[in-house]
Chain A
Amino acid sequence: MKPMKPSARTSEYLAKGMIWAAAMSVMIVLVAIIVYILIKGLPVLNFSFLTQNPYNMGRSGGIASTIVGTLYITLVAILIAVPFGIGTAFYLAEYTRENIITRIIRFSAESLAGIPSIIYGLFGFIFFVIYLGMGWSILAGGLTLAFMVLPTIIRTSEEAIRAVPQIYREASYSLGATKWQTIIKTVFPSAIQGIVNGIILSVGRCIAETAAVIFTAGSVLSMPFSLFDSTRTMAVHFYILASEGVSMENAYGTAALLIILIFVVNVGVNLLVSRFINKNQKR
């Protein structure tokens, strides 16, 4: 007896259906999570929740200091990671041929990308907090997160740079540009979209990180004023509120704001970039 074999047409429909189902279930799960958190959290969000500092361990008051702490740490991490990340990416993509050194750099970056964030936290705690004597601080937290997102930025930037058509480089050189001029005036603007995508991804990871931050920035609830103050980020706040059963309402409020913040960063940066690109490079 021959095994049943569906006709080409049936298998076509089957494949289409399965792929559609996969995409739909992912979307449903995603939307469900976001909607659930927004339903639970949005009622808590109001002006005083956003502007008041938490008190009574976060049982009452708002989350103003944690918003500031989150933005502060993320800013420090991104400001440090972006120049080094993009610099490394340009070195790998434009300044060297494949050799043992580039392989070591790429292998290191890839290994770093696979390390759990709590290991970064531990390293940051031992190195920045204790050894360099920074204490629990925004600086120590920001530096740790910078290390954590560096591989992401290097990899996405390198890919974006490599995706720039070689003919652009040749055109630029043939017009008498030096290597540096070619990179600044042609390669970088062409790669910016991909590079920015990597940065947005990193911003999201910084905002959402808990483990690495608790170890390095602490969890002080007061408003931070300098780089050397300890702080508590929104994600950490949420974690403590929820895990210690302090206040589920406020935890959901914080979570909702986290989601909104990441959404705003994503959309905002993308708008900015597409505007920049529209000006010049739209095909």
Chain B
Amino acid sequence: MEENIKIEIKDFSFLYHKKQVIHNLNLKIHKNEITSFFGPANGGVTTLLRSLNRLFELNHDTHTKGDILIDGKSIFDPDSSVTELRRKVGMVFEIPAPLPISIFDNVAYGPRLKKKKSKSEINDVVEQALKQAALWDDVKDRLKAPAMSLSGGQQQRLCIARVLALQPEVIMLDRACSGLDPISTAKIEESLFQLKEEFTIVIAPHNVQQAIRISDRAAFMLMGHLIEAGTSDEVFGSPKDQRTNDYITGRFG
């Protein structure tokens, strides 16, 4: 099974303004699976996701200990490129964050950043990404329309398409469905099931039910500590830790 490890988090700690928000976390994330990090607010999940693509570096006064390996290589290696890392590990935010440009330009944003690509290459990438995100049929006639004109669910799928256009290896979704209606959420979850054939998916679900619905593996985080991790059946079926059990049965949260 070892060859199926995509990301390895090793003794990872995160400090923000000298306050420790992740404590010595160890975990392996598997290829072609949906791994969800769930738990109540302030559990460190968002910080962990923002660590995987080093987006936390936009904030000041942050400090990390330990290491994160992707395909066996440290993402903190000073020789590695952070922009390459972010293309490899795409991220979808909690609030749909389309840029204030057209639908097409949003999806083409990533591909256009890197070297010269011909117009037809870009067109192909955009079309394929929109199809993978199940948005193509909705927008194919109005690619030039502003992205802000889409509904919330469409905007979030646009953000997924935008990540797919990077041709990434890992896709992270940070509570990406929290503001969406059940139909939009179902569409996105359906897309995720197909996308995991090709990608590694890391998700912070917005509630336990979503975690149960879509996870292959799950990790329960509480106040910056990883309490329990394992396959979906293990964690949700027979949690070993009392706190995990209490949280998923709704006793606290």
Contact residues of A with B, CB < 8 Å? 97, 167-178, 181, 185-186, 189-190, 280-283
Tell me how many residue pairs across A and B have CB atoms closer than 8 Å. Answer: 72
Please tell me which one of the listed residues B58, B90, B98, B101 contacts residue A189 in the complex, with CB atoms under 8 A apart: B101
Also in contact, A280 and B162, with CB within 8 A (given A173-B55, A176-B114): no
The answer for the CA separation of A186 and B93 in the assembled complex, in Å, is 17
CB distance from B45 to the nearest CB of A (A): 16
Contact residues of B with A, CB < 8 Å? 53, 55, 58, 60, 83-84, 86-87, 90-91, 93, 95, 97-102, 105, 109-110, 113-114, 146, 148-149, 159, 162-163, 166
The answer for the CA separation of A178 and B83 in the assembled complex, in Å, is 7
What are some 15 contacts across the A-B interface (CB < 8 A)? A170-B58, A170-B93, A171-B159, A174-B86, A174-B91, A174-B93, A175-B166, A176-B84, A176-B166, A177-B109, A185-B113, A280-B102, A280-B105, A281-B148, A282-B146
Q: Which residues of B contact A185 (CB under 8 A)?
A: 109, 113
Please tell me which one of the listed residues A171, A176, A189, A283 contacts residue B149 in the complex, with CB atoms under 8 A apart: A283
Q: Which residues of B contact A168 (CB under 8 A)?
A: 97, 99-100
CB distance from B148 to the nearest CB of A (A): 4
Main secondary structure of the interface of A (DSSP, over half): helix
Q: Which residues of B contact A282 (CB under 8 A)?
A: 146, 148
Whether B113 pairs with A181 at a CB distance below 8 angstroms is yes
Q: Which residues of A contact B84 (CB under 8 A)?
A: 176
CB distance from B91 to the nearest CB of A (A): 5
Also in contact, A177 and B99, with CB within 8 A (given A167-B93, A170-B93, A283-B149): no
The answer for the CA separation of A167 and B87 in the assembled complex, in Å, is 17
Whether B113 pairs with A171 at a CB distance below 8 angstroms is no
Closest to A176 in B: B87
CB distance from A177 to the nearest CB of B (A): 5
